[in-house]
Amino acid sequence: MKYLDEFSDPDLAARLFDDIRATVTRPWALMEVCGGQTHSIIRHGIDQLLPDEVELIHGPGCPVCVTPLETIDKALEIASRPDVIFCSFGDMLRVPGSGRDLFKVKSEGADVRVVYSPLDALRIARENPGRHVVFFGIGFETTAPPNAMTVHQARKLGIENFSLLVSHVRVPPAIDAIMNAPACRVQAFLAAGHVCTVMGTAEYPELAARHRVPIVVTGFEPLDILEGIRRAVRQLEAGEHTVENAYPRAVRAEGSPAARAMLEEVFEVTDRAWRGIGVIPASGWRLSPAYRAYDAEHRFSVTGIRTQESTACRSGEVLQGLIKPHECEAFGTVCTPRTPLGATMVSSEGACAAYYLYRGLSAPAPSAAAGPGAREEVTSVG
């Protein structure tokens, strides 16, 4: 049934819900991989409108959230240096390190700048030849190509005072790690459509077959998500485990050949630590030897930093889908968007931020001075 060819149909959402209800006969647990999908689900109450048999588990699909504490501390160390201009997307500035964040470092006099593209950072480097400009390159397969292209341009133009602090991660190895975890309850995945727009779907059939889980490539609008859920439930009920593309208006099987070629030239696959989860083999990228001169981590010798997570923060369990955000004792009390213990509360794609913003579960009542109905807002550029 080609539901998504009928966006003009005002009854489309009702038809999708009806189809899911008519199909499901037993409990199923589905994980949406992307934090953008999580926010759409919570904002529109999709999880509350589904049949009781269909549970949505929130996955580790927020790049800000999974950036290791160690990497945040490296960023803080580099940004604190007087000869550095540190550039980042806005949603990284309030992510807590061991004892402070980039906003705090900026308030102490560091030159920390919010940019909207890595090319903005490269321009700043050209305009400030006497200082070193570092761009904080985080993200999944979606933000990796422009970061790779920027480093490629820096070398091509001979701009030597630019470097990248890399914390790029890859989705398929994370899915594999989730399925291999002893406490895993996930029976199907809604794969991130924007990741597949870049990388295609070639890595998913082997995962679906080996773990016997349906993987449905899904968009981000409520109707996209409902269609992804509908297809996943149909596969589960039929005992199937294949890869389906429910986002064909954006995703092709081969992805973007140009973007993939740039990634292969500039980066190489490496093991990568995920905040709250640990090291996942072959789950990240680092700059290849040909571009190692642009690696900020090596240029500034910040490879020896060691950290320890807050014992009060359970964001690692949230990222693995083991608990819902409001099941953490710190949620909405000592941990809020303005006083976050973990990145899942401050990121614009974090599950804790979504629950706080749209559900307010267990959040403290607003003070009388704040006025009736007042609530803290999640502040982010990303």
Per residue in 165-204, pLDDT tens? 999 999 999 999 999 999 899 999 999 999 999 999 999 9
Per-domain boundaries in the chain: 22-310, 315-361
- The answer, as to whether pTM is greater than 0.85, is yes
Q: Which two tokens stand for residue 81?
A: 């240096």
**pLDDT score recorded for residue 363:** 41
What is the distance between the alpha carbons of residues 37 and 224, in angstroms, rounded to a whole number?
A: 9
Alpha-carbon gap, residue 223 to 63, rounded angstroms? 24
Q: What percent of the chain has pLDDT over 90?
A: 74
Residues facing 239 on adjacent strands: none
Task: Look at residue 35 and tell me whether its pLDDT is greater than 50.
Answer: yes
- The DSSP annotation for 268-285 comes to EEEEEEETTTEEEEEEEE
Mean pLDDT for 8-17 is: 82
d(CA 130, CA 125) in angstroms, rounded, equals 9
Q: Looking at the predicted structure, is the pLDDT value of residue 216 above 90?
A: yes
Query: What pLDDT is stored for residue 361 in this prediction?
Result: 55
The CA distance from 335 to 324, in Å, is 15
Taking only the tens place, the pLDDT of each residue in 56-71 is 999 998 888 999 889 9
97 in Cβ contact with 73 (< 8 Å): yes
Are 309 and 97 in contact by the 8 Å Cβ rule? The answer is no
Question: Is the pLDDT reported for residue 371 higher than 70?
Answer: no
pLDDT at 107 over 80: yes
Report, as an integer, the average pLDDT of 126-132.
Answer: 97
pLDDT at 79 over 80: yes
pLDDT value at 340 more than 90: no
Rg of the chain (C-alpha set): 21
Strand partners, 29: 55
The reported pLDDT for the residue numbered 382 is 34
**Mean pLDDT, residues 304-313:** 74
Please determine, for residue 378, whether its predicted confidence score (pLDDT) is greater than 90: no
* pLDDT exceeds 80 at position 367: no
**In this predicted structure, what is the pLDDT of residue 362?**
44
Both tokens assigned to 38: 């999580």
Check: CB of residue 208 under 8 Å from CB of residue 236. Answer: no
pLDDT at 305 over 90: no
Best mean pLDDT range from 156-165, 319-328, 337-346: 156-165
Q: Which residues contact 103 (CB under 8 A, 6 or more apart)?
A: 93, 94, 112
Q: Is 259 helix (H, G, I), strand (E, B) or coil?
A: helix
Round to whole Å and give the CA distance between 314 and 325: 8
Say if CB 147 and CB 162 are below 8 A apart: no
DSSP structure class, residue 365: P
| pLDDT score of 289 more than 60 | yes
**Residue 9: pLDDT band by 50, 70, 90 thresholds?**
low
In CATH, what number does 22-310 get?
3.40.50.11740
Neighbours of 192 (CB within 10 A): 27
- Listed in sequence order, the residues at least 6 apart from 26 whose beta carbon sits closer than 8 Å to its beta carbon are 53, 237
- The Cα-based distances of 375 to 101, 335, 348, 372 in angstroms read 23, 14, 16, 9
CA distances from 341 to 69, 311, 316, 335, 382 (A): 11, 10, 12, 5, 19
Q: What is the mean pLDDT of the chain?
A: 89
What's the pLDDT score for residue 381? Answer: 32
Single-letter amino acid code for the residue at 280? I
Task: Kindly report the length of the chain.
Answer: 382
Tokens of 258: 């140009």
Report residue 110's pLDDT band, with 50, 70 and 90 as the boundaries.
Answer: very high
Confidence of residue 249 (pLDDT cuts 50, 70, 90): very high
Q: Which of 163, 156, 106, 157 is nearest to 131 (CA)?
A: 163
- Is residue 333 scored above 80 in pLDDT? yes
